[in-house]
């Protein structure tokens, strides 16, 4: 069992999300630009049901698609921050917000959502169940490992959540998809974090169609 970051998109200048997340900009302003590599893959089209998104099905296959597909392999549970789950701030007004992904989210595993405000467990179609964890990231990761049944745990994001687990030394490996985009502002992934001191080394770097895929391991 490993704790992984997989297919995490980052801009050339180190931002993992744009600024000012909202209902209209779930990845922050211009944040979708760093995910362009994934939107053009066959795996994304299959995952979302948008079979005609790219126009030509053969364009969705290749290096980017291979890395996108692998990012879901052997995943037994996910951990994510509240803002990856949705734009709602403060106490939950009700249970009407059920995530960005519709009735059948793409996770198909238990998902542990970090939040300061309690909320009832949310079971969705396709095997995804959201558990809202109020006692911190260490508890969320412990619960995720227990639920994963020996498979890997994926730290999905957003940036603040990933940084928390990095600083705590709890991430074993990372796959970053470096997109040829300059955001200039937003949430910076590695500011103040010394990956070398944390024990990470670049295992390999592979050029894809729309991103460069960098694998880091301890």
- pLDDT given at position 202: 98
How far apart, in whole angstroms, are the C-alpha atoms of residue 49 and residue 70? 19
Q: Is 214 within the bounds of a domain?
A: no
Nearest CA-CA partner of 112 in 153, 163, 172: 153
In a domain, 171, yes or no: yes
Residue 134 in any domain: the answer is: yes
Bridge partners of residue 152, in order along the sequence: 75
Parallel, antiparallel or unpaired: strands 212-217 and 173-179: antiparallel
Structural domain contains residue 80: yes
What is the pTM assigned to this prediction?
0.93
- Helix count (H) and strand count (E) of the chain? 6, 11
- Which three-class secondary structure string do you get for 20-75? CCCCCCCCCCCHHHHHHHHHCCHHHHHHHCCCCCCCCHHHHCCHHHHHHHHCCCCE
In a domain, 208, yes or no: no
Task: Identify the domain containing residue 68 by its residue range.
Answer: 3-13+28-89+99-202
CATH number at residue 130: 3.40.430.10
**Does residue 209 lie in a domain region?**
no
Residue with tokens 């030394």: 169
| Residue 210, in any domain of the structure | no
Q: Where are the alpha helices (DSSP H) in the chain?
A: 36-39, 42-48, 63-70, 82-85, 137-147, 159-167
Task: Report the candidate in 184, 174, 182, 183 with the shortest Cα–Cα distance to residue 205.
Answer: 174
Cα Rg of the chain, angstroms? 17
- Total number of domains in the chain: 1
20: closest CA among 113, 108, 85, 87?
87
Question: Is residue 180 in some structural domain?
Answer: yes
pLDDT tens, per residue, the chain with 218 residues: 999 999 999 999 999 999 999 989 999 999 999 999 999 898 988 887 655 444 444 457 899 999 999 999 999 999 999 999 999 999 999 999 999 999 999 999 999 999 999 999 999 999 999 999 999 999 999 999 999 999 999 999 999 999 999 999 999 999 999 999 999 999 999 999 999 999 999 999 999 999 999 999 99
**Which pairing describes strands 201-207 and 212-217: parallel, antiparallel, or unpaired?**
antiparallel
């Amino acid at each position: 069992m490993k704790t992984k970051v997989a297919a995490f998109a980052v801009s050339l200048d180190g931002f993992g999300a744009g600024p000012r997340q909202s209902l209209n900009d779930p990845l922050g302003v211009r944040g979708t630009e760093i995910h362009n590599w994934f939107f053009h893959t066959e795996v994304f089209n299959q995952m979302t049901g948008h079979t005609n998104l790219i126009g030509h099905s053969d364009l969705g296959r290749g290096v980017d698609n291979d890395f996108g597909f692998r990012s879901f392999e052997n995943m037994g549970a996910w951990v994510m921050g509240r803002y990856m789950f949705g734009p709602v701030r403060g106490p939950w007004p009700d249970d009407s917000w059920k995530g960005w992904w519709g009735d059948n989210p793409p996770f198909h595993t238990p998902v542990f959502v970090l939040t300061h405000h309690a909320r009832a467990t949310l079971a969705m179609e396709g095997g995804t169940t959201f558990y809202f964890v109020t006692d911190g990231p260490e508890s969320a990761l412990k619960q995720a490992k227990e639920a994963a049944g020996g498979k890997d745990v994926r730290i999905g994001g957003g940036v603040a959540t990933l940084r928390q687990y990095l600083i705590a030394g709890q991430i074993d490996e990372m796959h970053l998809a470096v997109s040829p985009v300059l955001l200039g502002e937003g949430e910076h992934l590695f500011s103040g974090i010394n990956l070398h001191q944390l024990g990470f080394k670049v295992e390999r770097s592979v050029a894809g169609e729309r991103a460069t895929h960098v694998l880091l391991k301890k």
